[in-house]
């Protein structure tokens, strides 16, 4: 059963999507059936994904993939169906399976146009996202990476806002161009392996990594990166940087978030952006450690710019959803900063912040969607005094916003603290890590400014209109949507050790790949309790 678990997790949403898509052909079909079928399949996928926790991932001293299934796929070119999960991908798979049923419930009463197609696309998207995080064959990874674009394109383009086609096309062009460059890099690696290692080319991640580690396959000449390694690093890094998105290739994100339906925004912020940072850790850090070290100052500078720029632009947004979108640019800058600190706290904090961002920002988009369903506007100036007619909404909105800001005892604080601690003690990426850390820390200050100012304008003061005064508070469905995420925010802030312990071995192996092949000696790793 264990070797089939990941395959079942990939295929179950596909089966659900097909069932939803074909259901209109049934004579007894009703609109309400679509969402129930989608919800049942998504909850079943989440329940099965919890079995991943019933393993010893992260318990050993050496990293190993679990729940592995490795069989020939396209034997003529050496492609294999190779899937597995480790401490780095475990929590991202669970985050995916959690947010999909939440997204489906968030659209329970808001999708009137082509509901069967809407829910089918969400389930197809879930399958592709899980596939990205468990693929251990580069060709298989690429296919899942590309497959995720199609459902999201339609979710934005069909069920989005007024400028939905502009946003959908922009999203698709940006991410598809990066993905095609990555495909060229994958093919390049395949032929490099074929030319240097007996037995021909391979797309297998583990095989390629072992060949690079053992020296059987080389991308260097005399210890210095060659043009081959440089360009391979560039094409992979560009594809993943667009997905993050890292400044300055971030411009597709605010438009996509603003125009996407609530479910699309939750999945986009919660999961799709993490495919970029996951890809950098999994492939760039592992395959091209020399270029990763040399490029670190460049990525650190872009990360700091993204942190400050995203926060400052968020501050002046009149649209609350666009404000949350730009906050994602700032928060994902912290993730990239932690990764390129090359320290254990920094890299652990980066992975933890990926989860934090998915939970907190996903909840923020849910809350924005709830108020939009009531008022059909997202302009901050159209609100005021909402705490009076909607006290429960205001309470949960404030709690979620404080989590996003990084209030101590909530999840955001743990991730940002570890990232800044790791960056401050870094001796591997930049010459003045203390200066970089101080500049990045201003992003926390700006986050408090734009979030608290937004809360003050929307929730407090006098009720600015009769429409606002008549608004109904959250119902049971909406509370049920938010409670699991709110509990996670508190639990992850108070007790991060279970999450960090599971990922420690995987992160340390990636870190050692970059550090030990270098000419410097990083500080001794800080033990995380």
Backbone φ, ψ for residue 40 (5° rounding): -65, -45
Report the C-alpha gap between 326 and 332 in whole angstroms.
10
Query: Number of C-alpha atoms within 13 angstroms, CB side, residue 61?
Result: 0
Neighbours of 108 (CB within 10 A): 14
Phi-psi region of 114 (alpha: psi -120 to 50; beta: other; left: phi over 0): left
Helix orientation angle between 138-147 and 164-196, rounded to the nearest 10 degrees? 170
* Total number of residues shown for the chain: 529
The secondary structure of 288-350 as a DSSP string is: -HHHHHHHHHHHHHHHHHHHHHHHHHHHT-SBHHHHHHHHHHHHHHHHHHHHTT-SHHHHHHH
Report the C-alpha gap between 113 and 157 in whole angstroms.
12
Report the C-alpha gap between 135 and 41 in whole angstroms.
22
Query: What integer pLDDT is reported at residue 225 of this predicted model?
Result: 53
Q: Which of 456, 437, 338, 462 is nearest to 398 (CA)?
A: 456
Report the C-alpha gap between 104 and 262 in whole angstroms.
10
Residue with tokens 């991932």: 57
Neighbours of 434 (CB within 10 A): 12
Query: What integer pLDDT is reported at residue 431 of this predicted model?
Result: 78
Query: Number of C-alpha atoms within 13 angstroms, CB side, residue 287?
Result: 29
**Contact 130/83 with Cβ under 8 angstroms?**
no
Query: What integer pLDDT is reported at residue 84 of this predicted model?
Result: 93
Report the C-alpha gap between 125 and 110 in whole angstroms.
19
* Token output for 47: 């329940």
**Contact 304/338 with Cβ under 8 angstroms?**
no
Report the C-alpha gap between 329 and 436 in whole angstroms.
18
Residue 80: strand pairing partners: 72
Query: What integer pLDDT is reported at residue 30 of this predicted model?
Result: 66
If DSSP codes are grouped into helix, strand and coil, which group holds residue 36? helix
**Contact 271/243 with Cβ under 8 angstroms?**
no
- What single-letter DSSP state applies at residue 427? S
pLDDT values of the chain reduced to their tens digit, one per residue, 529 residues: 578 999 999 999 999 999 998 877 655 666 667 889 999 999 999 999 999 998 888 766 666 889 999 999 988 888 999 999 998 999 999 999 999 999 999 988 888 788 889 999 999 999 999 999 999 999 999 999 999 999 999 999 999 888 899 999 999 999 999 899 999 999 999 998 888 888 888 999 999 999 988 888 887 654 545 678 888 999 999 999 999 999 998 899 999 988 999 999 999 999 999 999 999 999 999 999 889 998 999 999 999 999 999 999 999 999 999 999 999 999 999 999 999 999 999 999 999 999 999 999 999 999 999 999 998 899 999 998 999 999 999 999 999 999 999 999 999 999 999 999 999 988 776 778 889 999 999 999 999 999 999 999 999 988 888 888 888 999 999 999 999 999 999 999 999 999 999 999 899 989 988 887 554 434 433 344 3
- What single-letter DSSP state applies at residue 215? T
**Contact 489/360 with Cβ under 8 angstroms?**
yes
Residue 220: strand pairing partners: 225
User: Three-state SS across 156-173?
Assistant: HHHHCCCCHHHHHHHHHH
Residue with tokens 């090359």: 342
* Token output for 440: 């990045």
**Contact 73/80 with Cβ under 8 angstroms?**
yes
**Contact 232/185 with Cβ under 8 angstroms?**
yes
**Contact 463/491 with Cβ under 8 angstroms?**
no
Cα(first)–Cα(last) distance of the chain, in Å?
Answer: 33
Backbone φ, ψ for residue 249 (5° rounding): -100, 35
Query: What integer pLDDT is reported at residue 180 of this predicted model?
Result: 93
- What single-letter DSSP state applies at residue 522? P
Q: Which of 317, 311, 319, 312 is nearest to 368 (CA)?
A: 319
If DSSP codes are grouped into helix, strand and coil, which group holds residue 220? strand
Residue with tokens 């985050």: 95
Query: What integer pLDDT is reported at residue 465 of this predicted model?
Result: 85
- What single-letter DSSP state applies at residue 210? H
Query: What integer pLDDT is reported at residue 219 of this predicted model?
Result: 79
């Amino acid at each position: 059963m264990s070797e089939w678990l990941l395959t079942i997790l990939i295929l179950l949403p596909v089966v659900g999507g097909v069932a939803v898509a074909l259901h209109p052909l049934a004579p007894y079909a009703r609109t309400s059936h679509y969402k129930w079928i989608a919800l049942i399949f998504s909850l079943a996928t989440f329940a099965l994904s919890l079995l991943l926790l019933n393993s010893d991932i992260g318990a050993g001293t050496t990293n190993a993939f679990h729940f592995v299934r490795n069989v020939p796929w396209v034997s003529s070119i050496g492609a294999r169906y190779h899937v597995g999960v480790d401490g780095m991908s475990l929590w991202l798979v669970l985050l995916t399976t959690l947010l999909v049923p939440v997204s489906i419930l968030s659209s329970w009463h808001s999708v009137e146009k082509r509901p069967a197609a809407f829910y089918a696309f969400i389930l197809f998207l879930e399958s592709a996202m899980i596939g990205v995080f468990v693929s251990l064959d580069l060709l298989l990874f690429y296919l899942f990476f590309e497959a995720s674009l199609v459902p999201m394109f339609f979710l934005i383009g069909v069920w989005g806002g007024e400028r939905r086609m502009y946003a959908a096309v922009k999203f698709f062009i940006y991410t598809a161009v990066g993905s095609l460059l990555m495909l060229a890099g994958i093919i390049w690696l395949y032929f490099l392996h074929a030319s240097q290692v007996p037995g021909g080319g391979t797309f297998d991640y583990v095989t390629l990594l072992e060949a690079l580690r053992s020296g059987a396959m080389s991308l260097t000449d005399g210890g210095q990166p060659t043009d081959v390694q440089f360009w391979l690093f560039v094409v992979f890094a560009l594809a993943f940087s667009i997905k993050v998105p890292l400044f300055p290739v971030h411009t597709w994100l605010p438009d996509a978030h603003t125009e996407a339906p609530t479910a699309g925004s939750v999945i986009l912020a919660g999961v799709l952006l993490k495919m970029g940072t996951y890809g950098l850790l999994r492939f760039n850090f592992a395959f091209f450690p020399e270029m990763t070290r040399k490029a670190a100052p460049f990525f650190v500078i872009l990360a700091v710019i993204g942190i400050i720029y995203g926060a400052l632009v968020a501050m002046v947004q009149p649209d609350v959803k666009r404000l949350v979108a730009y906050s994602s640019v700032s928060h994902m800058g912290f993730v990239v900063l932690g990764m390129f600190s090359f320290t254990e706290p920094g890299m652990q904090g980066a992975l933890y912040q990926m989860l934090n961002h998915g939970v907190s920002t996903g909840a923020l988009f849910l809350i924005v969607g709830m108020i939009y369903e009531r008022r059909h506007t997202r302009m901050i100036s159209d609100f005021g005094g909402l705490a009076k007619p909607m006290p429960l909404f205001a309470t949960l909105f404030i709690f979620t916003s404080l989590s996003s800001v990084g209030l101590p005892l909530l999840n955001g604080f743990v991730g940002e603290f570890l990232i800044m601690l790791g960056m401050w003690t870094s001796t591997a990426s930049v010459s003045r890590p203390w200066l970089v850390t101080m500049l990045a820390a201003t992003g926390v200050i700006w986050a408090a400014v734009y979030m608290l100012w937004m809360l003050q304008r929307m929730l407090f003061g006098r009720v600015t209109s009769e429409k606002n005064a008549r608004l109904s508070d959250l119902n049971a469905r909406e509370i049920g949507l938010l409670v699991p995420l709110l509990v996670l925010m508190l639990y992850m802030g108070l007790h991060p050790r279970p999450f960090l312990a599971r990922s420690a071995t995987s992160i340390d192996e990636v870190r050692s790949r970059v550090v030990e092949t270098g000419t410097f000696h990083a500080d001794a790793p800080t033990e995380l309790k």
